[in-house]
Homo-oligomer: A and B are copies of this chain.
């Protein structure tokens, strides 16, 4: 029973659902009214409570073991089980929810197990994040930002050899919907030699794909590029909120620090590699004539199908826009095809020195901009560092984000002959500095 052979569900809202049709089945962790967090699966406008379903005896064998590993409010142990458990659970969920399923009655008899997604459910981080690494694989972003500083030579010499990444702050990763307190910090006013302290004046978003690590490796071992896909548990959207003025002053010589660590937002649903399978494509952004990846980053299968075709969108609303009921302003329409390195290459690179990866580690892709206007994944690129403000339907202008602004990330996969699937939203609203 495969994704293409089952197309419709008896859960009516799933059929044609923009994010969560039967073909997606992403996993997450939720709670209702302060109850203990349960694991669940999004289907249409509902959450299927995996704890309750387990108690009702709906799982057996490997699928049952998979669900048991989701108990406790964190998916780390489930991620650690790897692909076999994930696939067994998916197959069972497809059986349970397929149109005409003989199990429909058994599920519906347990009235509490399909909960309304939008109503009272609070989504949590799906896993305990031990370590968070932010990569820089969006080559158009690297070029756009590089051009601001080095017009003639925007890419550094290592870019096409090294999947550049750096360690991020794990403690401040939060699920969609968490407000974003404007950070304070040191900034250097233009033309001055001494910094001042105060609220960030150049608050920005960054549009990224998040990657959840599944099975880890022991310290001292490396994950071969050909095995790397087996170590990825799933995907989410990630907003790498950035304080550009703090960043400019602090980042030499050791990289961004407080300019990023105040919060990172992620979409709470883990979209699996299996759900994304129809939307794989050749590793896209490496043009002919570019250097061949070094052998530890080179794998035929990865070159042929290591990329993804995921449409990524960023929307902005301001307080005034919301009061006037104006539609959200689209800031970005981009795609994961702008990744210069694949997720397998990120995993192989990260572990090639013996660095230990663990189930529940999170990677960010880096900002995924396209080359054109309308495709830029940050205000830094859109407004050229504040020089070209954008105009909104409310009559307001924006160089960077102001208090009350809300940023919404969306991700969607479309392909002729396949159901579209999506990631749900990654939202965050800016609050004034304390």
Q: Which residues of A contact B (CB under 8 A)?
A: 130-131, 136, 156-158, 161-162, 164-172, 174, 181, 183-186, 188, 193-195, 197, 219-222, 243, 246, 249-259, 261-263, 291, 294-296, 349-350, 352-358, 361, 434
Q: Is the CB of B167 within 8 A of A257?
A: yes
> A174 — which chain B residues lie within 8 A by C-beta?
219
Q: Is the CB of B158 within 8 A of A195?
A: yes
> A164 — which chain B residues lie within 8 A by C-beta?
250, 253-254, 257
- Determine the distance from Cα of A349 to Cα of B280 in the docked complex, in whole angstroms: 43
Pick from A136, A162, A174, A358 the residue with the most CB of B within 10 Å. A162
> A193 — which chain B residues lie within 8 A by C-beta?
157
Q: Which residue of B lies closest to A178 (CB)?
A: B219
Q: Is the CB of A257 within 8 A of B161?
A: no
What is the minimal beta-carbon distance from A125 to any residue of chain B, in angstroms?
A: 13
- Known A169-B167, A181-B220, A263-B219: A253·B356 in contact at CB below 8 Å: no
Partner among B194, B256, B353 whose Cβ is within 8 Å of the Cβ of A185 = B353
What is the minimal beta-carbon distance from A204 to any residue of chain B, in angstroms?
A: 14
Q: Is the CB of B353 within 8 A of A253?
A: no
> A170 — which chain B residues lie within 8 A by C-beta?
130-131, 170
- Known A156-B253, A252-B156, A294-B195: A353·B184 in contact at CB below 8 Å: yes
Q: A164-B253, A258-B352 are in contact. List 13 more A-B contacts (CB 8 A).
A: A130-B130, A130-B171, A131-B170, A136-B253, A157-B193, A162-B195, A166-B167, A167-B169, A184-B353, A197-B295, A261-B353, A262-B355, A354-B434
> A352 — which chain B residues lie within 8 A by C-beta?
184-185, 258
- List 29 A-B pairs, Cβ < 8 Å: A130-B170, A156-B252, A158-B186, A158-B195, A158-B249, A161-B186, A162-B250, A164-B250, A166-B255, A167-B167, A167-B168, A167-B169, A169-B355, A170-B170, A171-B219, A171-B356, A171-B361, A172-B355, A181-B354, A184-B222, A184-B354, A197-B294, A219-B262, A222-B434, A258-B350, A258-B352, A259-B353, A263-B354, A354-B434
> A194 — which chain B residues lie within 8 A by C-beta?
161, 291
> A195 — which chain B residues lie within 8 A by C-beta?
158, 161-162, 294
- Determine the distance from Cα of A7 to Cα of B331 in the docked complex, in whole angstroms: 68
Q: Is the CB of B172 within 8 A of A254?
A: no
- Determine the distance from Cα of A274 to Cα of B174 in the docked complex, in whole angstroms: 36
What is the minimal beta-carbon distance from A179 to any residue of chain B, in angstroms?
A: 8
What is the minimal beta-carbon distance from A399 to any residue of chain B, in angstroms?
A: 20
Partner among B158, B188, B355 whose Cβ is within 8 Å of the Cβ of A261 = B355
Q: Is the CB of A131 within 8 A of B171?
A: yes
> A183 — which chain B residues lie within 8 A by C-beta?
353-354
Q: Is the CB of A296 within 8 A of B197?
A: yes
